[in-house]
Each structure stands twice: as structure tokens, then as C-alpha cells.
Copies of this chain bind each other. A is one copy, B any other.
């Protein structure tokens, strides 16, 4: 049996943080909300990262299946991406004029992404989901936006729940929520709000938290596409999380349809800070007419990194590799669970898999198992999907299964 990790230095640093940062570590990287990892198993701070690994402040090494919640797609500190970024940095990054790396990157995305006639760059996923909704409203002169329940499109007021702190009812009064894969409901909504729906916004499949992830039903996207087209509604795909892990040409392409607008962020530049809205020609003039920018949005280093990242993903066939590695891990995990009499559900596309031990509806059993994995060096999470990166080796997968095995044994013994 392995020795389990301890996190003394992380705890000390967190105590310092609580004095000067609201909630110490906020958002999805924090112990309170983000990782949904049991807090006693959660390491809090990283000291370094390399390839598929992250080390915490106490020197514990983890095989990292969160990949910074997506940005790490080629492996941390990928030499090709870092070299391209360093070369650009020596010339200039955030200057009074953009670099032509911006043009090169837009051309590369237009060449790569099936539904992209143009690209617009920003910094957050939320910058581009917000621009997508504003573009749809400007183009259609309509107000209503259809969401699929379980969605996440960032933290801007328009996409928050009505009871979120700081959100006022006016922020979300034109939002309509329908169930994923429910075409009858969607069709009814289009009928009820005829001529009023500016956009349907959706992730390419339902990868929400605290629920098994759900792929689109047969024919679902084809019908959504048809309903949008017939109703003059803009179809927005939020590919911030899944983008380039399913298909280098976009997750809409993977599922056999074309979005009008598609949002990218996480896997775009292997961790360098950039997001992109891509879209169809008929919306280009609308976007051209909008005043939408930010202090660092046209910085050159992330464009250079993004070019290197996309080119390398294309060269090695990254999405296929990630799906293959994820499938190998998935099959191994299910078999390991079965050995101990557990029913482990692995849902979603394997490059972006979600885990749940189905034997316990309270999810506490699952949480116990996750904790035992994390404390032994496999960074899984509890109620959020995971991410595969291209630096993950067969040896890493074998070690993961070995640790998962030990963790199942510990949990089995306890119950």
C-alpha cells in the first residue's frame, strides 16, 4: 500500500490567503467550490507542472486529469508551444499595435475549424460567449436566449442563475431553459416565442456538473440546426470546454452539424491566455459594428502560442490521441471497479470523461474513492468532468489504474 499524501504547506499558505483574498482561492481552482474534490484530500497549491503532472506545495506529485480545467492539452510546458511564445515575447507582447501573428492565427482557425469564416480574439471564454449573445441580439433584433439545463457559459450576469449574488432579475429575464435532448420541448418553445428567439446557446454535449454527462441523441443536432434556421435564430456552440478534444475542426463538426457562432478558449493555446469567437460570414458585419475589446486582447504572445498549439494538435492528430488514451483509461477504470464489485459509470466523450460510482445515489461513496485516489497521486475530481492531455503515457495510465485499484480496495474494506 502506498503512503498517502499530506498537505501541511498548502494549509499554511491557504491560511495566509484567507487574510487577503476573498475565500482564499476562488472559483474552479479553489477547495470551496471548484474541484469538488473532498477538501481533506485537496492539495490547494501547485509548486510546478510538467507534461501530465502537477506537483503541490508539499512536493507531492499528481497525474493530473484536470489539466488546469482544460488548457493543458499537449502537456504542461510543451516545448514547441513555449518556444514559439518565447520567440514572440523577445519581439513584443502587449504593444500599441497588434502583431501580424493575430492575422496568422485567424487564418489558421479559418482553415482548421469547419464552421469558421472568421475569428475574433479575446481573453475569457465568457468574453466570447457574451459577444456571441450580443451578436445574435444585434443581428436578429430579438432578446430571448434558449439555454439547455445543466449549461455553463461563464460568469457574466446574463448567464448566471437568478438567485446568484449580484444578479438582478433584469439580467436573466429573457432566458429560456429547456431540457437537453428534448426536441419536443425545444419545438414548443420556438412555437410559443415565435420571432422572439435571438439565439440557442449550447455546449456540444451535456457535460454539466453533478450529473452523468449526456451525448446528443441521434438526430438531435440536425433538428436543432433545422429549428434555428427555420426561425432565423442564431445557433451558438460553446466549445470552450470541449473544443479540440473531440475534433480539430470543432465539436459541431464531430457531431455532424455547423454552428453559426462557435466559442473556443481552453485548449486553444495550451494555457496561454486567449479565447476566440469564430463564425459564419453572414454575422461578420454585425461583429464588425460592435465596440468590444480589452486591455490585453491583441497581445502577440498568446497568438504565437495558439498557432504552435493548433499546428501541433493537427500534426499529431491530438483529438484522436486524446480519445484513444481516454478510452484506454475508461475501460481500465471500469474493469478495476468491477473487480471490487463497484459499478463505475464513465460518461461523456473519453477525452473529457465524467466519473460516478453508481452504487450510491448520495455520491458519498464516490467522494470517498476520489479522495483515496487523490491522496495517492491521481488528481481526479468529484462532480466535474475530467480532461486528457497528449503527454499522458501508457505508464501513467497503468499507474492510475494501480492507484484506482488500491483506492477501491480501501473504500470496499470500509463499507
Decide: B102 and A287 in contact? CB cutoff 8 A: no
Question: Number of residues in A with C-beta < 8 Å to the partner?
Answer: 115
A36 within 8 A of B: no
A372 within 8 A of B: no
A174 within 8 A of B: yes
Copies, count:
2
Within 8 A of B (CB), among A153-208: 154-158, 160, 164-168, 170-171, 173-174
Interface pick from A64-72, A215-223, A321-329:
A64-72
Set of chain B residues within 8 Å of A77, measured between Cβ atoms: 89-90, 92
Q: What is the bound-complex CA distance between A69 and B126, given in angstroms?
A: 23
Set of chain B residues within 8 Å of A27, measured between Cβ atoms: 291-294, 297-298
Q: What is the bound-complex CA distance between A266 and B296, given in angstroms?
A: 8
**Contacts A154-B294, A293-B28, A294-B126 given; does A379 touch B134 at CB 8 Å:** no
Decide: A157 and B170 in contact? CB cutoff 8 A: no
Decide: B295 and A23 in contact? CB cutoff 8 A: no
Taking a contact as CB atoms closer than 8 A, the residue among B71, B165, B286 that contacts A94 in the complex is B71
Decide: B97 and A43 in contact? CB cutoff 8 A: yes
Q: What is the bound-complex CA distance between A43 and B96, given in angstroms?
A: 10
Interface pick from A45-53, A335-343, A357-365, A396-404:
A45-53
A377 within 8 A of B: no
A56 within 8 A of B: yes
**Contacts A29-B298, A168-B137, A168-B143 given; does A44 touch B271 at CB 8 Å:** no
A299 within 8 A of B: yes
Decide: A110 and B20 in contact? CB cutoff 8 A: yes
8 closest A-B pairs by beta carbon, nearest first, are A27-B293, A134-B166, A49-B92, A94-B271, A22-B287, A138-B165, A46-B97, A23-B288
A354 within 8 A of B: no
